[in-house]
Amino acid sequence: MKKYFLICLFSIIFQNINAQENKTNEAGSWFTLVNKFKITDKLSVSNITQIRLVNFIEDSRIFLLAPGVNYKLGKVVTASAGYMYLNFNEEGIRVPGVDLENRIWEAVSFSSSIWKIKMKQRFMLEQRFLSRRNGSEFYQNRFRYRLNLDFNLFKLKNDKYILGKISEEIRIRSRPGYNEPEFDQNNFGVFLGYQLLDNSKIYAGYQRNYYKIPDFWGDNVLHVIFTYDFDFTKKKFWK
């Protein structure tokens, strides 16, 4: 039953994100490092470091850094807030129209499960401060909704599992005050993973990014994600 559910979900999303596409950028690669620092049972600090390349792995297009603070409001609800920095290079068929972006974000996440599938939903608001290459600046709001599904695919002889992950995110941009909302992006990814250590995992897979600025574009991306967590509640580092 789980396999049929995942196949149906993949088919529906993949059809939707290709329905209006009329231009395609070069194949690209994203390399993401995710760290989480657990301070208490409720409080943690996180950081995302990411490099996005085009021409597969030849040219660096975007460097991203996103620190944040997370606080568990309950067993299934977590509130987060943070900052994001993006530096753009003039690479690719669709050369970025901006040079730098500074972003403030707030998010609420809900965790649950369907059968043996872990489901996490994230609702995020962003306040984006962007600088164009001609020196001008502009401001933009954005709403994001992301659904992550994590599950075990099959067990190996060492009693570890090959992991599966499906990620789907819709992004809606708007003018200041969240007026005149319009479609911005849809990012869909399917990944295979492996738990290296108790606090570390690696994922690799295919990501399809579909967006409008102002025409519709589609990117095919190889995305590699490495996570490494630190639990300060298990050891007194000050000794």
**According to the model, what pLDDT value does residue 36 have?**
97
Q: Tell me the pTM.
A: 0.86
Instruction: Tell me which residue has tokens 């403030």.
Output: 104
Cis, bond preceding 176 (omega within 30 deg of 0): no
- Across the range 154-172, mean pLDDT stands at 95
Checking if the pLDDT of 161 tops 50, the result is yes
CA 85 to chain CA centroid, nearest Å = 14
β-pair partners for 32: 50, 225
**According to the model, what pLDDT value does residue 92 have?**
74
Checking if the pLDDT of 234 tops 90, the result is no
- Across the range 161-187, mean pLDDT stands at 91
Checking if the pLDDT of 99 tops 70, the result is yes
Checking if the pLDDT of 236 tops 80, the result is no
- Across the range 136-158, mean pLDDT stands at 94
| Domain locations along the chain | 2-231
78-83-84 Cα angle (round to 5): 115
- Across the range 177-194, mean pLDDT stands at 91
Work out the mean pLDDT of the chain and round it to a whole number.
88
**According to the model, what pLDDT value does residue 4 have?**
43
pLDDT bucket at 115, cuts 50 / 70 / 90? confident
What would the pLDDT profile of 40-97 be if each residue is shown by its tens digit? 999 999 999 999 998 888 889 999 999 999 999 999 999 999 999 999 998 777 778 8
Checking if the pLDDT of 140 tops 60, the result is yes
**According to the model, what pLDDT value does residue 235 have?**
65
pLDDT bucket at 1, cuts 50 / 70 / 90? very low
Alpha-carbon span 37 to 49, nearest angstrom = 14
Determine the topology of domain 2-231 in CATH: Porin (2.40.160)
Burial of 148 (0-12, 13-18, 19+ CB in 10 A): middle
Checking if the pLDDT of 98 tops 50, the result is yes
**According to the model, what pLDDT value does residue 22 have?**
55
